[in-house]
């Protein structure tokens, strides 16, 4: 449940639930050999934290007053009031002790989710809770000079076991019912739950109820109840499993109060204590098995998540490598401009739009003047620096929408969308002038170079980009023949 309650609200809920379970125990179960409100107290501090102590204390105090009233005893005599106060204090401190033991798991909201949490903290917390409560509840009688009916040692032992058993049987069900509310169930889950509930109730009727005296079957052993509970632990949710434990707990104790079932037929003198130890073991086993399957499911989900993450990372890497390979396929490695293939592929796509919607565009064809002499006189390393410098200048002067590529050793081309002849000629002149003013230095050697540029623009009879490129090449040829380091239009 995602509703955030204020302290007075969850303390009121705790008090009412504690009192209801106490009344149910004293009226329906008609015994104090087990104390289900201990499960309410443990569930309260597990769900709401140590601030729920007030609800536990008040609920315990009112429950004991009800007990005295039920047996026509005055709750406000000194002895009775002292017993009530000591018992309520013991129940409250017991709940807080259990909370401190399970604190780390409670903070992480997984006190019953892993095997080590159930075995190492939860069961130990239930035992400690029973012991603390018993010391106060039985000890107050000896402080007042009274004697417990079966002695101090057995009194503390029986009280400890009854509270620990109630905590193990009741608190997980209340915890999961509250924590996971509302519960969504499929039709299949509902069918399974109803069927296993019917089987469990039948087993309780035959083993711990009147059915045991009606059917003389050797298979009606107490351990038979373990099978439907283990099925729940392995196949159904933690909530349903815990609720099934609580149902078995209540049915077995109702039957035991009537003197029915296996234990009262075979161990009448010690039926109560035998029943307590039996169910302590049974419920602990079921919770451990449930934790094993929960942990296994979590590990499988974590493994699946890691696998999906690895697949996603690998997919991203493959996509990155693919994009990188595609980029390398159309990129000149020296200048990082488009190579011949990349330029024509991109420019053809853009040029096709001008065929459908005629407009103005232009093309610049650039060639470095006497580049072979630079390589011959200064080496190819200097030549590469000159090429890279030219690419940097082109990047500086062109727009993002322009398409620039290196289509030969020292030959560059720029496609200029939405550009007139004047725009293209002006840009070409600025590039030419910037190149002529540049100096490239490598290993203390400085080179100054020039380039020639041919310009062409889109004409109505142009059907392919190559037609514009031919006119730009013709203009470049004119520029070379007229002395280089100039711009010509054709």
pLDDT tens sequence across 142-180: 999 888 877 888 889 889 999 999 999 999 999 999 988
Torsion of CA 125, 129, 135, 140, to 10 degrees: 160
Instruction: Let me know whether 189 and 178 are in one domain.
Output: no
Q: Is residue 16 domain-resident?
A: yes
Residue 226 token pair: 């373990």
| Domain encompassing residue 469 | 340-489
pLDDT-based confidence at residue 217 (cuts at 50, 70, 90):
confident
Instruction: Let me know whether 162 and 14 are in one domain.
Output: yes
What pLDDT shows up at residue 269? Answer: 79
Q: Is residue 433 domain-resident?
A: yes
Q: Is residue 262 domain-resident?
A: yes
Q: Is residue 379 domain-resident?
A: yes
Q: What is the mean pLDDT of residues 218-226?
A: 88
Which of the listed residues 330, 364, 396 is the one where a domain comes to its end?
330
Neighbours of 75 (CB within 10 A): 15
Expressed in percent and rounded to 5, the helix, strand and coil fractions of the chain are 70, 10, 20
**Residues 6 or more apart whose Cβ sits within 8 Å of residue 211:** 205
Instruction: Let me know whether 209 and 344 are in one domain.
Output: no
What pLDDT shows up at residue 2? Answer: 64
What pLDDT shows up at residue 181? Answer: 81
Poorest-pLDDT segment among 167-176, 288-297, 354-363, 384-393: 354-363
Q: For strand 451-457 and strand 487-489, is the pairing parallel, antiparallel, or unpaired?
A: parallel
How many DSSP H helices and E strands does the chain contain? 19, 7
Q: What is the mean pLDDT of residues 456-484?
A: 90
What pLDDT shows up at residue 140? Answer: 93
Instruction: Let me know whether 230 and 194 are in one domain.
Output: yes
User: Which conformational region is residue 418 in: left (phi greater than 0), alpha (psi within -120 to 50 degrees), or beta?
Assistant: left
Q: How many residues does the structure list for the chain?
A: 490
Q: Is residue 369 domain-resident?
A: yes
C-alpha distances in Å from residue 149, one per residue of 68, 138, 152, 153, 461: 17, 10, 9, 11, 117
Considering only residues 151 and 228, tell me which one the structure prediction assigns the higher pLDDT: 228
Number of domains in the chain: 3
Instruction: Let me know whether 249 and 352 are in one domain.
Output: no
Instruction: Let me know whether 254 and 370 are in one domain.
Output: no
Q: Coil, strand or helix: which one is 469?
A: helix
- Check whether 1 has a pLDDT greater than 70: no
Q: What is the CATH number of the domain that holds 78?
A: 1.10.1760
Instruction: Let me know whether 107 and 134 are in one domain.
Output: yes
- Are 159 and 177 a contacting pair, CB within 8 Å? no
C-alpha distances in Å from residue 227, one per residue of 233, 278, 280, 340, 395: 10, 15, 16, 76, 78
- Check whether 363 has a pLDDT greater than 80: yes
Q: Is residue 335 domain-resident?
A: no
Poorest-pLDDT segment among 83-92, 211-220, 228-237, 458-467: 211-220
Residue 66 token pair: 């009800």
Q: Is residue 119 domain-resident?
A: yes
Instruction: Let me know whether 166 and 214 are in one domain.
Output: no
Q: What is the CATH number of the domain that holds 451?
A: 3.30.70.270
Instruction: Let me know whether 211 and 315 are in one domain.
Output: yes
Instruction: Let me know whether 57 and 155 are in one domain.
Output: yes
Strand partners, 412: 366, 406
- Check whether 64 has a pLDDT greater than 80: yes
Which of the listed residues 139, 167, 182 is the one where a domain comes to its end?
182
Dump strand ranges (E) for 164-290: none
Considering only residues 257 and 249, tell me which one the structure prediction assigns the higher pLDDT: 249
Instruction: Let me know whether 402 and 310 are in one domain.
Output: no
Q: Is residue 213 domain-resident?
A: yes
398-437 residue pLDDT tens: 998 899 999 888 999 999 998 899 999 999 999 999 999 9
Instruction: Let me know whether 40 and 167 are in one domain.
Output: yes
Q: DSSP secondary-structure letter at 4? A: P
CA distance 484 to 174: 92
- Check whether 230 has a pLDDT greater than 70: yes
285-336 residue pLDDT tens: 999 999 888 888 888 988 999 999 999 989 888 888 888 777 777 888 888 8
Which of the listed residues 309, 330, 351 is the one where a domain comes to its end?
330
């Amino acid at each position: 449940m995602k509703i955030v309650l204020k302290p007075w609200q969850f303390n009121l809920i705790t008090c009412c639930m504690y009192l209801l379970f106490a009344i149910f125990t004293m009226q329906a179960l008609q015994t104090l050999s087990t104390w289900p409100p201990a499960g309410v107290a443990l569930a309260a501090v597990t769900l709401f934290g140590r601030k729920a102590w007030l609800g536990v204390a008040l609920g315990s105090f009112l429950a004991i007053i009800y007990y005295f009233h039920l047996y026509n005893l005055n709750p406000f005599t000194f002895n009775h009031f002292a017993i009530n106060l000591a018992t309520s204090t013991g129940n409250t401190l017991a709940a807080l002790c259990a909370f401190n033991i399970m604190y780390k798991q409670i903070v992480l909201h997984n006190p019953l989710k892993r095997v080590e949490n159930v075995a190492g903290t939860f069961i130990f917390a239930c035992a400690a809770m029973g012991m603390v409560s018993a010391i106060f509840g039985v000890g107050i009688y000896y402080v007042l000079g009274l004697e417990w009916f079966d002695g101090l040692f057995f009194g503390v032992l029986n009280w400890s076991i009854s509270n620990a058993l109630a905590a193990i049987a009741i608190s997980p069900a209340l915890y999961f019912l509250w924590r996971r509310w509302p519960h969504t169930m499929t039709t299949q889950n509902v069918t399974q739950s109803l069927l296993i509930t019917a089987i469990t109730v039948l087993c309780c009727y035959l083993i711990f109820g009147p059915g045991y005296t009606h059917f003389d079957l050797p298979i009606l052993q107490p351990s038979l109840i373990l099978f439907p509970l283990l099925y729940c632990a392995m196949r159904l949710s933690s909530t349903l499993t815990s609720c099934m434990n609580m149902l078995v707990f209540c049915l077995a104790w109702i039957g035991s109060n009537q003197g029915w079932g296996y234990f009262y037929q075979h161990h009448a003198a010690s039926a109560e204590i035998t029943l307590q130890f039996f169910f302590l073991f049974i419920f602990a086993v079921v919770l451990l098995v449930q934790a094993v399957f929960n942990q296994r499911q979590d590990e499988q989900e974590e493994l699946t998540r890691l696998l999906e993450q690895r697949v996603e990372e690998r997919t991203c890497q493959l996509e990155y490598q693919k994009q990188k390979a595609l980029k390398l396929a159309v990129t000149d490695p020296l200048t990082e401009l488009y190579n011949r293939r990349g330029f024509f592929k991109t420019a053809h796509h853009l040029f096709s739009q001008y065929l459908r919607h005629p407009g103005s565009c232009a093309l610049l064809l650039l060639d470095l003047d006497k580049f072979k002499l630079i390589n011959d006189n200064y080496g190819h390393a200097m030549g590469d620096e000159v090429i890279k410098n030219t690419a940097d200048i082109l990047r500086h002067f062109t727009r993002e929408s322009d398409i620039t590529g290196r289509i030969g050793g020292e030959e560059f081309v720029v496609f200029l969308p939405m550009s007139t002849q004047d725009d293209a000629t002006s840009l070409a002149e600025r590039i030419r002038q910037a190149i002529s003013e540049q100096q490239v230095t490598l290993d203390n050697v400085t080179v100054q170079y020039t380039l020639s540029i041919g310009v062409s623009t889109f004409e109505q009879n142009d059907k392919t980009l190559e037609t514009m490129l031919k006119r730009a090449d013709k203009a470049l040829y004119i520029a070379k023949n007229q002395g280089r380091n100039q711009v010509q239009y054709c």
